Amino acid sequence: MTLAFLIAGAAVVVTGILLVIGDSGTVHRSSTLLWTLACVTSVFGVVGLVIFREVPNVDWIVPFTAGATTLSFGLIWSGLRVFAGARSGGVIVAIATAVTMIAAISDTQSGMWNGAAVRFGVLACLSLAVLAICLDARMRRRPAMRIIAVLACLQFAYSLARLVAFLYWGAAEPRFETFFGAQTATLVNALCVVGAAFALVALRAERGREIVHESTGRHFVGRRGFARAVRRAEGDDAVRVSVEDFSTLRTAMGRGAAHAIELDLSGRLVEIAPEGAVIGRLGNGAFGMLVEGRHDLRDVVTGELKLTSEHTTAIAMIVDGYESSKGTREPQSARKVGG
């Protein structure tokens, strides 16, 4: 299990460093490597477990565990902290840490030292992270997420049962495969990893590229889809947008997106949308001036912020002062943001 722990530890360290010193873009790009590593190692391990488990001198559980570990901590640290918010993500991190510690203690007490209990602890954390994503309001509307949520519940229950068995019986813990069949546990684990991969795809699509035209509820993904959403917006219809780069929103504003403005402060481009909009990847310095003292800036640094009436009022006042300093008597941008 040494290789699995080394890979998982390196993934956690790299992700942590990126979250501390990097911006959202850095984490977004670098996390792709983690997801690729996790999926490749997991699939490799699952195929080995299911098809080639009788091959001598090959420990196929190592790549599977490495992939599951990378997926688990990658989801918890870089995914949920942004997706579920700092508070919800912190709770999940605390629970996952406790489960992993219990698994490590049970491994030590059993005298096995082969990482078996830790493996089930990691899988429990993984299923918990997947379940949290599937239960989010934005994900519940997708039928596939409900199926993945059921798989995650099964995986969590199975992993927790194995952990309890390790704690109670130690090295003599009963093999659940005896009751459910030799391949059942492997199949459940494989389904959980596949479900995690789908949840990650949905998570990445939700963060950064999804556009919702609120009057119709239709989704538009990508730059062209955003342009279509803007063209269909009429009157006071709002386009709720989460964008990855500045040029997409600038293009939308040029085509008449409702209530969207742009404001340049100290050379930084800032994008502002109506109450309830989700804004991604803002210039931290400029946005900090706009909502100073009204929001936890750590959320801004890690990704997205959902605007409230309090924020839009503060922004309207600042925009009004900015426009007035330029000699504009009637700052339309301030009137738009303020509602």
Instruction: Look at residue 136 and give its three-state secondary structure.
Output: coil
> What percent of the chain shows pLDDT beyond 70?
9
Full-model pTM: 0.41
Angle (CA) 52 53 58, round 5°: 90
The per-residue pLDDT for range 269-319, each reduced to its tens digit, is 334 444 334 343 333 333 433 333 333 333 333 334 444 444 444 444 333
- Tokens 């790009």 correspond to what residue? 29
pLDDT of 216-273, one tens digit each?
444 444 444 444 444 444 333 344 433 333 333 333 333 333 333 333 323 233 344 4
- Summarize pLDDT for 45-56 with one digit per residue, the tens: 555 555 555 444
d(CA 290, CA 322): 11
Q: What is the pLDDT of residue 22?
A: 38
Read off the pLDDT band of 195 (50, 70, 90).
Answer: low
Question: What pLDDT, on a 0 to 100 scale, did the predictor assign at position 127?
Answer: 72
In terms of DSSP H, where are the helices of the chain? 2-21, 24-51, 61-74, 81-83, 85-110, 116-134, 137-140, 143-169, 177-180, 184-206, 222-232, 246-254, 284-290, 297-302, 309-325, 332-338
Using a 10 angstrom Cβ sphere, with 0-12 exposed, 13-18 middle and 19 or more buried, the burial of residue 321 is exposed
Q: 47 CB contacts (<8 Å, ≥6 apart)?
A: none
